[in-house]
Amino acid sequence: MATQAPSKTKKEATKGLTSTKGAGEPQTNSAVNIQPILNQQVQAPNPTQRFGTVSQRLPIGLDDHVRLESVQMLNQLLADTISLRDLYKKHHWQVVGPTFYQLHLLFDKHYEEQSELVDTIAERIQILGGVAVAMAFDVAEITSIPRPPRDREEAPVQISRLLEAHQIILKNCHEYAKKADESGDDGTNDLVVSQVMRTNELQVWFVSEHVVESPLTKAE
Ligand SMILES: [Fe+2]
């Protein structure tokens, strides 16, 4: 019986093609196209999902109208949390004065904790079949946190801005937790209470104590 020579694998075939050229000659390879296809965003097809809709149905036991209501609440919470997160970073960079070191570190710690909340809220929105708001352009349009100036401000003013933002988020948390509870979205209720509310309340405590007038070296 005649034996057949084994056919070349794709890798071997490619190797053979590219190695036939001498050093210094341009390497051509008509068999494999390894060029990236760029600028596909220019004439992009329709998006896979529109913002403001809940179209993907993961089997999580929640009706469309429940998921839609939760997604709308969570996107507001997300935009406000992104704003508060960034407010902490702004103040982390710009803080000045005798409490610089402790506030510089505290603001960054709270920034990191708010960053974790941002990710948790956004992923909950996706789990519910919605689309999480993401970019600063869109966050700026949605957030209810007042826009701070670009300028550098005194530490007590920074702290007041942070506490105002926390308060806005916490008031929404109470309302959203109640609505999620009533609609049967226990996962969203738990996230809002156990993570967003608890984290914000604790941060309010740590930040608030810095604007209490208290003697520094001698009891009054
Ligand atoms: Fe830093």
Q: Tell me how many domains the chain contains.
A: 1
Judge whether 57 lies within some domain: no
pLDDT top residue among 49 and 9: 49
Q: How many H helices and E strands in the chain?
A: 7, 0
Rg (CA), the chain: 27
Judge whether 90 lies within some domain: yes
With both helix axes pointing from N to C terminus, report the angle between 100-127 and 64-94 in degrees, rounded to the nearest 10: 160
Share of residues in the chain with pLDDT > 90 (%): 83
pLDDT at 126 (0 to 100):
98
150 CA from centroid of ligand 1 (Å): 18
- Domain with 115 in it: what CATH number? 1.20.1260.10
Contact 65, 130 (CB under 8 A): no
Judge whether 5 lies within some domain: no
| pLDDT tens readout for residues 36-55 | 999 999 999 999 999 999 99
pLDDT at 216 (0 to 100):
85
135 CA from centroid of ligand 1 (Å): 22
Share of residues in the chain with pLDDT > 70 (%): 86
142 CA from centroid of ligand 1 (Å): 27
Which domain does 81 fall in, by range? Answer: 71-211
Judge whether 21 lies within some domain: no
pLDDT at 54 (0 to 100):
95
pLDDT top residue among 21 and 59: 59
Name the token pair of 129: 């079949």
Judge whether 154 lies within some domain: yes
Judge whether 146 lies within some domain: yes
The model's pTM is 0.85
Name the token pair of 189: 């209720």
Residue 29: which pLDDT band, with cuts at 50, 70 and 90?
low
104 CA from centroid of ligand 1 (Å): 8
Judge whether 2 lies within some domain: no
Judge whether 59 lies within some domain: no
Of 6-20, 67-81, 164-178, least confident by mean pLDDT is 6-20
Alpha-carbon gap, residue 167 to 209, rounded angstroms = 15
209 CA from centroid of ligand 1 (Å): 22
Alpha-carbon gap, residue 37 to 139, rounded angstroms = 31
